[in-house]
Structure 1
Amino acid sequence: MKEIKSVDEWERVLDESKNGPVFMMKHSSTCPISASGYRAFEAYETDIPKNYMIVQNNKPISRAVEEDLGIPHESPQLFLVKDGKAVWNASHYNIVQTSIEKAIEVNS
């Protein structure tokens, strides 16, 4: 998993999605619900690139993700991005391995 620490890095992730799907997670370092979702995401094995950002440290990235994908901010929040668009997203208790697996099955 790669931590995204700048808007430029986020833009590279968005560009990468034009070559194949990528994951992007907005993670809150202070929220136990986010910690649970993060662990599920981290443990899920896939060849799809997995990226995350910590909301408290990177509000500009969080805003850019919201604007670029057109989906209101929540935390935690996980996106499957393809061709520069979110083809799937989940938040809070919906970030579990079964939902991630289903997202890949439907959108790959």
Structure 2
Amino acid sequence: MQWKNITDLEQISQIQKEEGYSLIFKHSTRCSVSSMAKRRFEQDWSVIPEDTSLYFLDLISHRDISTHIAETFQVHHESPQILLIKNGDCILDASHSDISAEEVAEVISN
């Protein structure tokens, strides 16, 4: 699996329009907790179905996009944070130590 970097606001609209599942990982490149959560997630992401689009946001470089994501999907901004999007709606968000590839896979399978 591979991350698709989010670098402009238009990508959020595109993610909202995608059918199926997409995942956004909001990452602070200055935070050791965020780095640990990302590393742990990537170690286990093979449990997530291959057709799930995985998006990565460097929120230090793109704070405006992070704010837009929070508003668009009606979630409180946190870092690190994952949002699981299904057909345009956020159906799961988790932050810090609650970030889990296994939980994402479980939600997708149900």
Given the two structures, how large is their TM-score scaled by the length of structure 2?
0.86
Please give the per-residue CA displacement for 1:51-84, whole angstroms capped at 9, x wherever unaligned.
Answer: 0101100011101100000011000110110121
State the Cα RMSD in Å.
1.3
Look up the SS of the partner of 1:24 in the other structure.
strand
Given the two structures, how large is their TM-score scaled by the length of structure 1?
0.87
Which residue of 9, 12, 28 maps to 1:10? 12
In the comparison of the two structures, how many residue pairs are matched? Answer: 104
TM superposition shift of 1:38 = 1.2
Please give the per-residue CA displacement for 1:2-44, whole angstroms capped at 9, x wherever unaligned.
Answer: 110010122212211xx11100111110111111221233330
1:36–1:103 Cα change, 3 Å: farther
Partner of 1:37: 37
1:37-56 pair list within 5 angstroms: 37-43=37-43, 44-45=45-46, 46-47=49-50, 48-56=52-60
Partner of 2:90: 86
Look up the SS of the partner of 2:83 in the other structure.
strand
Unmatched segments (≥5 aa) in structure 1: none
Identity of aligned residues (%): 27
